[in-house]
Structure 1
Amino acid sequence: MARTDAASRVIAAPSDQVFAALVDPEALTAWLPPDGMSGRFERFDARPGGSYRLVLTYADATTAPGKATPDSDVVEARFVDVVPGERVVQAVDFVSGDPAYSGTMTMTWDVTPVEGGTRVDIRADDVPAGISAEDHAAGLASSLANLAAFLER
């Protein structure tokens, strides 16, 4: 059964800065990895039809084994839609030999100006069964907190 996970946060930064942080690889590697992980892009092309390959590495793999290797998750993604200043939609696949992580998850990031900053809404549709709802919720919240810290400094 398909699952949707979502999270949102108001960030005290202008929407153009928030949107820029969603499509810049240097910014993304600074804030996107959840707590306890680091990331690096092997390729990155932020335009509709473009793609990226992101390697996320666990600082301590003993508490959370990786999906691709014992200490890493590898994400293959393509940009489905990029609406400047408003939305980024990605089709995301985890590289894994475990069928519990198979299938394409659609990640939608919406950016909306609000009083005091920008509301960022993340929706993940068709989340693979191997990703626990609790861990995914924590990861989404962590990424949003990292984005806020990155932009509000």
Structure 2
Amino acid sequence: MSRTDRANRVIRASRTAVYGALLDQGAVEAWLPPDEMTGRIERWDPRVGGGFRMTLTYADPTGSPGKTSDGTDVVDLEFADLVPGERVVHRAVFESDDPAYAGTMTMTWSLADRDDGTEVNVTAADVPAGIDQAVHEEAIASSLAKLAGWVEGRAG
């Protein structure tokens, strides 16, 4: 049975600024890795049908085994849909020999105007069974907090 995880946050910046950070390689490399991880983008093609490959490295892999190796998660992401100022959709496939991480997860980043900025809603559909739901939702919230820091720090 497929699972959907969610998180949201209001970012004190315009939809244009937030959307820009969703498609800027340096920004994505900085804000997408959740706390306790770093990321490195190996290729970047920000167009529908394009995508990127990211290696996420755990600061301390103890107790947090990676999907690809003990200390890493490698994920290939395709840009499935791009609607300027409104939505970015990724199809994500983890590199793993473990069938619990198999399949394609679809992550939708939706943007909506709010009086105090932009509400960002993230929906992760068809989450692989091996990914703990609470941990995943916490990781998405962490990425959203880092996205807010990135965008708000440049908007002011």
Tell whether the structures are fold-level matches, with TM greater than 0.5.
yes
Any unmatched runs of 5+ in structure 1? none
Cα separation, 2, equivalents of 1:46 and 1:124: 20
Mapping of residues 60-79 of structure 1, within 5 Å: 60-79=60-79
Mapping of residues 1-150 of structure 1, within 5 Å: 1-150=1-150
Give runs of ≥4 in structure 1 deviating > 4 Å. none
Cα separation, 2, equivalents of 1:57 and 1:9: 25
Cα separation, 2, equivalents of 1:113 and 1:40: 31
TM-score calculated relative to the size of structure 1: 0.98
Residue-pair matches, total: 153
Cα separation, 2, equivalents of 1:25 and 1:112: 22
What CA deviation, in whole Å up to 9, does each residue of 1:25-75 have, x standing for no partner?
100111110000000111011111102100000010113111101110000
Any unmatched runs of 5+ in structure 2? none
Cα separation, 2, equivalents of 1:30 and 1:53: 14
SS across alignment from 2:41:
strand
TM-score calculated relative to the size of structure 2: 0.96
Instruction: State the superposition RMSD in angstroms.
Output: 0.7
SS across alignment from 1:60:
coil
